[in-house]
Amino acid sequence: MRYLMRQILLLLLAVQMFSCNSPSKMIKNEQYDQAIERLVRSARAGKADAEDLQLLSRAYHTANQLDHDRVQMLKARNEAASWPEIMQLYERMNARQSKVKTLSPDQLSAIGFVAMNLDVLMADARREARQQLMETAQNLLATGKKQEARLAYDHLTELQRLSPNDPEVRRQLQRAEAQGTSQVLVLFENRSGVQVPDEFAEAIMNMSAANLDQPWLSYNFEEKQGVSYDYVVYASVRAIAVSPEIVNQSRTTEKKEIQDGTQPKRDQNGNIVLDSAGKVIEVPRYRTVEAFVNQTLMEKRAKISGAFDFVRTAGNKTLRSIPFETESVFMHTYGTINGDLRAASQQSLEMMRRGPVPFPPDGLMIMEAAQKVNPMLRNALKKESNLLLQVD
């Protein structure tokens, strides 16, 4: 019974979803082109009845009338900026007509289809739109502002769709992209007072700018002549500290109960228990053994701290400072065991097999800590990309 109820519920949900996406519902919601797509597909498959064709007729003629009315209103305004939209409306009407024309003559007759010759209208609209898009883009670029350059890029992208082989459009697109892109310079800065080798900075800064670049954002890790940078990000090391070489010793006792031979079994009265043959029954005898573990812990740490400072070059203003801290840790244990080795744990036995090792030099540990700063810088640059995309 429960299974049957579940199936009925699923069927009702499916019916409801279908009715919500039915062509009649789409038309009611003014989704005319979606309804046309569904009905044309059904008609071409031979699944459309008279009611479906009536719905198709209604959707097709209503959509065209709305687009036609919009074109007439835009033309009445007599504004040059309207031509890109006029062109798009004509293209939409033409695409809609091309879709419906795939139906059979009888179906076309049933929906009252009359072919429209839109070629001349589309050609005129394209010509006017191309001119308007280019003029608008050039005016935006003339402001010298990044946000306007990004808007110009959108206009030029649409213009390139209309004129894909026009070299002037390509040149203006390149200009808009260059003008609208935020240029970011990432630099290493050592303010720790500790002398470090060149490899230290390389360990922190070693990453590909190409993997960080994104639309309207370009990174450089070396200053280039002729590039005007909008932002500088400083990977600023403020402190480098290396701890003393610490050696700590400790002694612990480990105990374990082990079998040590056998002994006669006794009853609750202390009497020796014999088996059926009269022999003494032997049981295991246990005793506790001890092992004395002498552990030596060697420890040394190198710590680096600082901040990633995001600075806008205009006004030399720090927009954000993200602190970071990382360290390289050396820890080594070894030891000896006195007493009964059978009492020692596996961990203590493994430690006993290790001997002392030399402490790593300061430079090596500092370099290991520097390598850990690298992914922190990469993540900070990615996380703050929206900050660097801000424009004047």
- Residue ranges of the alpha helices (H) in 265-360? 346-353
3 state DSSP class of 373: helix
Q: What is the pLDDT of residues 208-223, one digit of tens each?
A: 888 898 999 999 999 9
Contact predicate 90/64, CB 8 Å = no
Nearest Cα to Cα of residue 81 among 29, 135, 32, 120: 135
Give strand ranges (E) for the chain.
182-190, 217-220, 231-242, 246-264, 282-312, 317-339
pLDDT at 4: 56
Nearby residues of 335 by Cβ (< 8 Å), 6 or more positions away: 293, 294, 295, 296, 348, 351, 352, 354
pLDDT at 6: 63
Q: What is the pLDDT of residues 11-34, one digit of tens each?
A: 554 445 444 578 999 999 999 999
pLDDT at 285: 85
The residue that leads in pLDDT, 230 or 4, is: 230
Euclidean distance between CA atoms 4 and 198, whole angstroms = 75
Euclidean distance between CA atoms 157 and 173, whole angstroms = 7
Euclidean distance between CA atoms 191 and 309, whole angstroms = 13
Stretch 51-77: mean pLDDT? 93
How many other C-beta atoms lie within 10 A of the C-beta of residue 159? 24
pLDDT at 230: 94
Average pLDDT of the residues of the chain:
89
- For the cut 90, the answer to whether the pLDDT of residue 267 exceeds it is no
Euclidean distance between CA atoms 53 and 47, whole angstroms = 10
pLDDT at 180: 94
Share of the chain above pLDDT 90, in %: 64
Q: What is the pLDDT of residues 285-323, one digit of tens each?
A: 888 888 898 898 999 999 999 999 999 999 999 999 999
What residue segments make up the domains of the chain, in order of their start?
Answer: 2-116, 132-180, 182-261+289-392
Confidence of residue 8 (pLDDT cuts 50, 70, 90): low
Nearby residues of 277 by Cβ (< 8 Å), 6 or more positions away: none
Residue that is written with structure tokens 């959108």 in the block: 154
For CA atoms 78, 83, 89, 90, give the dihedral sign: positive
Token pair for residue 251?
Answer: 């002694």
Q: What is the pLDDT of residues 71-126, one digit of tens each?
A: 999 999 888 788 889 999 999 999 999 999 999 999 999 999 999 999 999 999 98
CA distances from 95 to 24, 28, 89, 251, 335 (A): 22, 22, 10, 87, 83
Look up the pTM and report it: 0.68
Domain at 182-261+289-392, CATH from 2.60.40, 1.25.40, 3.30.160, 3.40.50: 3.30.160
Contact predicate 83/29, CB 8 Å = no
pLDDT at 254: 86
Euclidean distance between CA atoms 190 and 125, whole angstroms = 60
